[in-house]
Amino acid sequence: MKIVGILGSARKGGNTEVLLDVALEEAQKNGVLTDKIPLRDRSIAPCDGCLGCAQTGKCVIEDDAQEIYGKMLEAEGIIWATPVYFWSMSGQTKTLMDRTYTLLFPKLQLANKVGGLILVATARGCTNAANIFHMYFTYNHMFYAEFASGYAREKGEIKKAEESIIERFKSLGILAILTAGLVEGLNPCAFATLIFFISYLTMVGRKRKEIFWVGMGFTGTGFVTHLLLGLGILNFIQHLSFLPLFSRIIYLITFLFALLLGILSLYDYIQLKRGLPSKMKLQVPNFLKKRIHQTIRIRSGNLEVDRQGQSIRLFIAAIVIGFVVTLLQFTCTSQVYLPTILFVTNIPSLRGSAVFYLIFYNLLYIAPLVIIFGIVYWGVTSEQLSFFLQRRTSTIKLLTSIFFFALAGILIFAFL
């Protein structure tokens, strides 16, 4: 496999070349052959519009572009790297792009190759320039591998800026993911179900030790089920992320979804402060609440037939309940989960370790549930627990709202 890097910067050792070198070095580490073509060292005339290539399949201008054609056709991947000049590419880059018109004949000679893009701007213009390349790749029937961008002016400045940005996004991204897991674990939807479960077990005479083991089975299954749901969604998104339009739509949806949920969580907070919990927007629908409670009663009630049965039966029942309840209340818990998964797929520094972050997310998701079962084991009643959580539901809603607004802010910051 071979990748060709076309460098459209006139400045030797400049910021664009630094980023292209990084990309080619990473490819080499994976056993890929690479070739860098600095256009500043080539003599390439502008296209004269004779349309001779449309008749013969060959460009009539004999210059260094002929050599570049051959290298582009040999490679499976082509990375264009250019500084951004007036919301577009450099003159050298545009000249070569125009001259590749000949590769459309006698058939699409660049079809099915992968096109990559590196852009460096002083302050703005990357998105507009990227759109031009997107249309170029699409017209040539190439696969667009998205673009990497940097912002710098002075020579070599991108090295420091790149390190700073990567570390900043890693710290912001990881913090956002861990916070999201904890926020979802504190979700009133999950707590309401859990309190009902504990209350029912207490009512039918289950001992503290039995409740504790039920809690382990319930939360353990909740962790696995929730993680598998997340992995399924992540796998679906990653399989389609190579499509540029899909990636942009997902990015926009993520931002709008986070913003909408932030507004709705803030609305719920206001309603709780007014003493109107029934008017909350983000909660499990009543028909699902009834279904969840019915599931808990039936599965727990089956155990009453054999009170002397082995503890393993109680544990298995808790696993079944945990699986069913996690699926049913996903309509509520997904309010945090889905934006977080979309967030991970849209931040390059997080994308490569998405599964690892999802595991940590889900560990924090079940942490509050484990703690609750633990304190019940140590003697706290379900009534005391319910009273404690009811007094703090509004605070949880406010924190959830702040989280969603912060998530939307990070996405905007990444886009700019």
pLDDT in tens, 191-222: 666 666 666 566 555 666 667 777 778 788 88
Per the CB < 8 A criterion, the answer to whether 325 and 194 are in contact is: no
- Residue ranges and CATH numbers for the domains of the chain are 2-155 (3.40.50.360), 165-415 (no CATH)
Please give the Cα distance from 296 to 348 (Å, whole number): 42
Q: Considering the chain, what is the average pLDDT of its residues?
A: 76
What is the model's pLDDT at position 72?
92
DSSP string, 251-306: HHHHHHHHHHHHHHHHHHHHHHHTT-GGG-SSS--HHHHHHHHHHHHHHHHHGGGG
Please give the Cα distance from 193 to 203 (Å, whole number): 15
Angle of helix 157-185 relative to helix 15-29, nearest 10 degrees, comes to 60
Residue 360 CB neighbours (<10 A): 14
Per the CB < 8 A criterion, the answer to whether 134 and 115 are in contact is: no
Identity of residue 356: F
Per the CB < 8 A criterion, the answer to whether 6 and 37 are in contact is: yes
What is the model's pLDDT at position 225?
87
pTM of the model: 0.46
CA distances from 283 to 139, 178, 200, 291, 367 (A): 47, 22, 21, 14, 21
pLDDT tens by residue, the chain, 416 residues:
899 999 999 888 888 888 898 889 888 888 889 999 999 989 999 999 999 888 888 899 999 999 999 999 999 999 999 999 998 899 999 999 999 999 998 888 889 899 989 988 887 788 888 889 989 998 999 888 777 777 777 776 666 654 544 454 444 456 767 777 777 676 666 666 666 666 656 655 566 666 777 777 878 888 888 888 888 887 776 666 544 555 566 667 777 877 887 888 888 888 878 878 777 776 655 655 566 556 655 655 554 444 444 456 667 777 777 787 777 767 665 666 766 776 666 665 556 677 787 888 888 888 877 777 777 667 666 556 556 666 667 776 787 778 778 767 766 665 55
